[in-house]
């Protein structure tokens, strides 16, 4: 057993993917490759003159995942499926949008846009880097959807196939409409300002007809602003009224209407120039604010439903053949095949095959569960070994997991939340109405026209727009700062809710701990054994085996050939390496009679039935989680832990929570949701932090739900906030920052009140000149915008957030 460790080959990296070549080097075309997959991609690119790919960026290619079944895209040949995926088709031409999560650098853009070189049927391919999508136009006479998808998978960009997302298209249209509104408002606002200049400077040009012409032009220009751009405020105010809810757009619409009405009167009667410039200004600034608020994070999806996680089609067994049908046509009683690494779409019975189901999506438990024939398999589980045949018991919509999703959808149709901005706006509006009516009554006995003048001017000058603007722009800038720090907020309303929470409920696996960083300690001293162990464990898909594999490969150990490999589920794996029997598994499997006591999970190794040592696994906590939790405790937050794990995981978390924290283990998704609801009825304001589908119900039930994800483009359950796993160390700072949003809004509101007091002081006397009113309006708006953005940025950098 003298096997030198392959030290000298450590610097060998794969020409294609840039990963070190441990599992044996393939030498081809004077270049090194780590695996056949990488070599294949290189050959394909090279023979098509696409090697420029490697010269563009530092970043390297993607190693295609091999060993997936040949015909796994066969369902794309089915007409039903094809129609649902394509976004357009006629006799000769088809268009399709793919989402390619693997796209990551400019080389990807280059390669993908040269896709036509690899498949002659492709007319063009366009990438959208930020959305990670690819738009392909192809001739259906020359190639098929399946071939394109297979090609993409071969070169390492496996598309994330979904049924044609109608949703995305309407979103695009909505987005454009918002821009149109903004642009029209901006155009008219600018022109009205220019035409109003003579009025500002000298109270009108000496030439009376010229003044009138300008006024009429202003009137003309203000119509599109009011009707087209400002229309949405009126509609929203009306809808609010209909639902008996005074929303924030009501005072705004009121003041817009009064401003326009008064201006119309002044212009038509020839008594003045009106306030059309301020009206257009309000609309323009409001739209700018809302644009920035809504612009963030197009590529993130907060409201995914279960369908986005399930396969889009299934293979149904009919007598002896099988056919591919879309998931929606799956009925009770159907027999379907599930291949390795596929998700179970609906609750079913196991008929045939070796079912080892990984329920980490549903329960958070990452160890695959072995299912006996005739037993139930729940939707959301992932098959991890070989093909199985199952019989559907419940339809997709009726399954255990999907019910969770449906339940909360009823709840989301709640009345709009009554938040601070709304309340302030309402009080402020009430106060203004009183004030204006009061001053009208005061002047009425003396001079009725002066009374009307005062009434309208007060409403125009002191309209709650300043308040609306401060809220809108504060939210926009807070959200953009959060986005830079890896925290993505679904909408502005949630910021205030988060500011008010007092209880934080944590999920364990994946949230506090991170599976990919699970620490493993080697208790095997003989390094010459490493290649033998690696050769065996690299064949197994068990999480522990994978962790040992990455550990050993990371230290440069090379694989050897394995014979008679055998894996006993729940026990371990064994194989012959160079004639030596290597067994890796639990104590009984490796022939140990006495086990080593301790809290951690262990995997034992024996060579030729002689125990040589073991690996012990801990539960890796996310970086900074401990500090954050103790800080938050000091800040007065209550904690609670809800874990899907067995209580054996407790030792990993006891140290980090205060001793009185209530911890619940073995919680099903429903239990979690019930616990959250219970807390809420007790009057706690609950923030739920979770990661998996098993937290989906709880995330929705809580006042605010944060989903933690290591790859935000990959998977997140429906939630209010998506947080990148690596930003978790800043959790407390983020929470504080969100809390202070309220302070910033109040601060800028006070600032705008100061303007209003000055303006009102003059307006109440009925002596406000249009000049001052017109100047005050944009100046106060712009200064409030500057105030909110700068204050929130200063605060963020004080809290240690990226700005």
Partner 1 sequence: MSVIYLLIGISIPIAAGFLIAFLFASTDGQFDDDYTPSIRMLLEDPKPEQPNKTSTQPEA
651 binds partner 1 (CB under 8 A): no
- Among residues 21 and 696, whose Cβ is nearest to partner 1? 21
- To partner 1, the closest distance from the beta carbon of 106 in angstroms equals 5
441 binds partner 1 (CB under 8 A): no
- Rounded Cα–Cα distance for residues 692 and 510 (Å): 7
88 binds partner 1 (CB under 8 A): no
- Among residues 43 and 236, whose Cβ is nearest to partner 1? 43
How does 475-501 read in b/e, with b if 16+ C-beta sit within 10 Å?
bbbbbbbbeebbbbbbebbbbbbbbeb
Q: Which of 69, 124, 141, 180 binds partner 1 (CB under 8 A)?
A: 180
Which residues from 203-242 bind partner 1, rule CB under 8 A? Answer: 205, 207, 210, 213, 217
Candidates 8-16, 104-112, 393-401, 474-482; binding stretch for partner 1 (CB under 8 A): 104-112
- Rounded Cα–Cα distance for residues 776 and 286 (Å): 16
CB of 717 closer than 8 Å to CB of 694: no
Q: Which of 9, 113, 165, 294 binds partner 1 (CB under 8 A)?
A: 113
If phi over 0 gives left and psi between -120 and 50 gives alpha, with beta otherwise, what is residue 510?
left
172 binds partner 1 (CB under 8 A): yes
Q: Which of 63, 127, 383, 474 binds partner 1 (CB under 8 A)?
A: 127
Q: Which of 72, 89, 95, 131 binds partner 1 (CB under 8 A)?
A: 131
114 binds partner 1 (CB under 8 A): yes
- Among residues 104 and 394, whose Cβ is nearest to partner 1? 104
Cα 361 to Cα 101, 307, 348, 406, 669: the distances in Å are 19, 14, 17, 17, 10
505 DSSP β-pair partners: 640, 688
29 binds partner 1 (CB under 8 A): yes
CB of 366 closer than 8 Å to CB of 358: yes
Candidates 125-133, 161-169, 275-283, 714-722; binding stretch for partner 1 (CB under 8 A): 125-133
Structural tokens at position 644: 């899907």
Measured in whole angstroms, the distance separating CA 326 from the mean position of its chain's CA atoms is 26
Candidates 126-134, 233-241, 587-595, 751-759; binding stretch for partner 1 (CB under 8 A): 126-134
- Among residues 117 and 664, whose Cβ is nearest to partner 1? 117
- Rounded Cα–Cα distance for residues 100 and 53 (Å): 17
- Among residues 142 and 299, whose Cβ is nearest to partner 1? 299
51 binds partner 1 (CB under 8 A): yes
- To partner 1, the closest distance from the beta carbon of 51 in angstroms equals 7
- Among residues 292 and 737, whose Cβ is nearest to partner 1? 292
CB of 792 closer than 8 Å to CB of 474: yes
Q: Which of 25, 122, 145, 184 binds partner 1 (CB under 8 A)?
A: 184
- Rounded Cα–Cα distance for residues 77 and 277 (Å): 60
How many Å from the N-terminal Cα to the C-terminal Cα in the chain? Answer: 57
Strand 93-99 to strand 122-128: parallel, antiparallel, or no bridges (unpaired)? unpaired
- To partner 1, the closest distance from the beta carbon of 208 in angstroms equals 12
- To partner 1, the closest distance from the beta carbon of 126 in angstroms equals 8
CB of 56 closer than 8 Å to CB of 166: no
Structural tokens at position 581: 């029997």
Q: Which of 4, 7, 8, 30 binds partner 1 (CB under 8 A)?
A: 30
Reported in sequence order, the residue ranges of 667-775 that DSSP labels E, i.e. its strands, are 686-690, 704-709, 721-724
Candidates 5-13, 113-121, 333-341, 462-470; binding stretch for partner 1 (CB under 8 A): 113-121
- To partner 1, the closest distance from the beta carbon of 202 in angstroms equals 13
170 binds partner 1 (CB under 8 A): no
Q: Which of 72, 84, 104, 117 binds partner 1 (CB under 8 A)?
A: 117
Structural tokens at position 495: 């910021």
- Rounded Cα–Cα distance for residues 85 and 96 (Å): 7
Q: Which of 3, 13, 56, 300 binds partner 1 (CB under 8 A)?
A: 56
Query: Which among 124, 129, 135, 122 has a CA at the least distance from the CA of 108?
Result: 129
- Among residues 47 and 563, whose Cβ is nearest to partner 1? 47
96 binds partner 1 (CB under 8 A): no
Candidates 177-185, 503-511, 683-691, 783-791; binding stretch for partner 1 (CB under 8 A): 177-185
Total binding residues toward partner 1, as defined by CB under 8 A = 38
The DSSP letter of residue 65 is P
516 binds partner 1 (CB under 8 A): no
- Rounded Cα–Cα distance for residues 142 and 153 (Å): 19
- To partner 1, the closest distance from the beta carbon of 775 in angstroms equals 23
- To partner 1, the closest distance from the beta carbon of 642 in angstroms equals 39
Q: Which of 78, 153, 191, 601 binds partner 1 (CB under 8 A)?
A: 191
- Rounded Cα–Cα distance for residues 634 and 578 (Å): 59
Candidates 102-110, 337-345, 425-433, 676-684; binding stretch for partner 1 (CB under 8 A): 102-110
- Rounded Cα–Cα distance for residues 659 and 445 (Å): 72
- To partner 1, the closest distance from the beta carbon of 41 in angstroms equals 15
- Among residues 206 and 333, whose Cβ is nearest to partner 1? 206
Reported in sequence order, the residue ranges of 399-548 that DSSP labels E, i.e. its strands, are 487-489, 503-507, 520-523
115 binds partner 1 (CB under 8 A): no
128 binds partner 1 (CB under 8 A): yes
187 binds partner 1 (CB under 8 A): yes
- Among residues 89 and 131, whose Cβ is nearest to partner 1? 131
Residues 668-687: x/- map of binding to partner 1 (CB under 8 A)? --------------------
Candidates 105-113, 469-477, 713-721, 759-767; binding stretch for partner 1 (CB under 8 A): 105-113
124 binds partner 1 (CB under 8 A): no
- Rounded Cα–Cα distance for residues 224 and 231 (Å): 9
Cα 362 to Cα 150, 378, 614, 639, 648: the distances in Å are 30, 9, 30, 23, 19
Q: Which of 52, 203, 430, 591 binds partner 1 (CB under 8 A)?
A: 52
- To partner 1, the closest distance from the beta carbon of 52 in angstroms equals 5
- Among residues 102 and 719, whose Cβ is nearest to partner 1? 102
Helix (H) or strand (E) holding 210: helix 208-224
Helix (H) or strand (E) holding 93: strand 93-99
109 binds partner 1 (CB under 8 A): yes
Task: Give CB contacts under 8 A, 24+ apart, made by 375-378.
Answer: 375/349, 375/350, 376/347, 376/348, 376/349, 376/350, 377/344, 377/347, 377/348, 377/349, 377/350, 378/344, 378/347
- Rounded Cα–Cα distance for residues 172 and 167 (Å): 9
Q: Which of 183, 223, 448, 580 binds partner 1 (CB under 8 A)?
A: 183
- Footprint of partner 1 (CB under 8 A): 27-30, 46-52, 56, 106, 109-110, 113-114, 117, 126-131, 172, 176, 179-180, 183-184, 187, 191, 195, 205, 207, 210, 213, 217
């Amino acid at each position: 057993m003298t096997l030198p460790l392959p030290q000298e080959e450590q610097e060998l990296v794969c020409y294609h993917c840039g990963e070190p070549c441990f599992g044996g080097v393939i030498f081809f075309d004077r270049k090194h490759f780590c695996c056949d997959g990488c070599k294949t991609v290189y050959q394909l690119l090279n023979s098509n003159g696409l090697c420029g790919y490697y010269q563009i960026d530092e970043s390297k290619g993607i190693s295609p995942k091999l060993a997936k079944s040949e015909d796994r895209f066969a369902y794309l040949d089915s007409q039903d499926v094809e129609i649902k995926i394509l976004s357009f088709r006629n006799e000769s031409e088809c268009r399709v949008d793919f989402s390619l999560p693997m796209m990551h650098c400019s080389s990807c853009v280059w390669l993908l846009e040269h896709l036509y070189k690899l498949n002659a049927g492709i007319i063009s391919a366009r990438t959208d880097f930020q959305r990670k999508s690819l738009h392909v136009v192809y001739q259906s006479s020359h190639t098929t959807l399946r071939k394109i998808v297979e090609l993409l998978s071969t070169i390492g960009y496996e598309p994330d196939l979904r049924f044609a997302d109608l949703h995305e298209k309407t979103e695009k249209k909505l987005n454009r409409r918002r821009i149109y509104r903004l642009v029209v408002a901006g155009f008219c606002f600018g022109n009205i300002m220019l035409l109003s200049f003579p009025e500002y400077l000298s109270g009108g040009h000496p030439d009376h007809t010229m003044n009138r012409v300008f006024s009429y032009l202003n009137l003309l220009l203000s119509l599109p602003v009011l009707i087209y751009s400002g229309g949405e405020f009126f509609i929203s105010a009306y809808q609010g009224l209909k639902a008996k809810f005074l929303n924030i757009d009501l005072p705004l619409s009121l003041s817009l209407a009064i401003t326009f009405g008064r201006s119309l009167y002044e212009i038509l009667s020839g008594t003045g120039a009106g306030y059309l410039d301020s009206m257009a200004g309000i609309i323009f600034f409001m739209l700018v604010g809302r644009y920035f608020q809504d612009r963030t994070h197009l590529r993130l999806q907060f409201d995914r439903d279960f369908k986005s996680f399930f396969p889009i089609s299934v293979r149904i067994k009919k007598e002896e053949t099988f056919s591919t049908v879309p998931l929606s046509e799956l009925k009770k009683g159907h027999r379907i095949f599930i291949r390795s690494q596929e998700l179970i779409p609906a609750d079913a019975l196991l008929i045939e095959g070796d079912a080892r189901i990984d329920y980490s999506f549903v329960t958070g438990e990452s160890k695959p569960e072995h299912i006996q024939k005739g037993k139930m398999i729940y939707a959301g589980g992932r098959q991890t070994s070989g093909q199985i045949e199952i019989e559907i018991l419940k339809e997709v919509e009726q399954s255990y997991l999907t019910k969770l999703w449906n339940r909360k959808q009823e709840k989301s149709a709640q009345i709009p939340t009554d938040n601070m901005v709304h309340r302030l706006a309402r009080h402020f509006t009430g106060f203004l109405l009183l004030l204006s009516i009061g001053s009208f009554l005061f002047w009425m006995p003396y001079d009725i026209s002066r009374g009307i003048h005062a009434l309208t001017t007060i409403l125009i000058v002191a309209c709650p727009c300043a308040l609306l603007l401060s809220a809108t722009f504060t939210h926009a800038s807070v959200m953009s700062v959060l986005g830079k720090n890896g925290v993505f907020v679904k909408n502005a309303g949630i910021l205030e809710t988060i500011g008010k929470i007092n209880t934080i409920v944590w999920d364990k696996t994946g949230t506090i701990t991170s599976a990919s960083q699970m620490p493993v300690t080697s208790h095997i001293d003989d390094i010459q054994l490493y290649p033998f162990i690696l050769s065996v464990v690299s064949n197994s898909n068990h999480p522990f085996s994978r962790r040992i594999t990455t550990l050993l490969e990371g230290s440069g150990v090379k694989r050897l050939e394995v014979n008679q490999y055998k894996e006993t589920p729940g026990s371990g794996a064994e194989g012959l390496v160079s004639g030596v029997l290597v067994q890796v598994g639990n104590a009984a499997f490796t022939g140990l009679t006495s086990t080593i006591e301790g809290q951690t999970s262990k995997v034992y190794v024996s060579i030729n039935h002689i125990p040589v040592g073991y690996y012990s696994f801990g539960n890796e906590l996310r970086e900074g989680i401990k500090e954050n939790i103790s800080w938050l405790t000091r800040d007065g937050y209550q904690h609670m832990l809800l874990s899907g794990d067995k209580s054996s995981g407790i030792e990993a978390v006891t140290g980090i929570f205060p001793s009185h924290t209530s911890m619940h283990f073995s919680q099903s998704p429903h239990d979690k949701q019930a616990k959250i609801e219970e807390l809420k009825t007790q009057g706690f304001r609950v923030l739920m932090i979770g990661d998996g589908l098993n937290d989906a119900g709880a995330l929705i039930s809580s006042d605010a739900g944060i989903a933690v994800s290591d790859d935000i483009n990959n998977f997140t359950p429906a939630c209010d906030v998506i947080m990148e796993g690596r930003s978790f160390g800043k959790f407390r700072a983020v929470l504080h920052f969100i809390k202070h949003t309220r302070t910033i809004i109040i601060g800028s509101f006070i600032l705008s009140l100061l303007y209003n007091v000055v303006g009102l002081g003059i307006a109440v006397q009925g002596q406000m000149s249009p000049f001052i009113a017109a100047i005050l309006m944009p100046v106060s708006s712009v200064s409030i915008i500057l105030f909110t953005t700068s204050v929130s940025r200063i605060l963020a950098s004080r809290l240690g957030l990226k700005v």
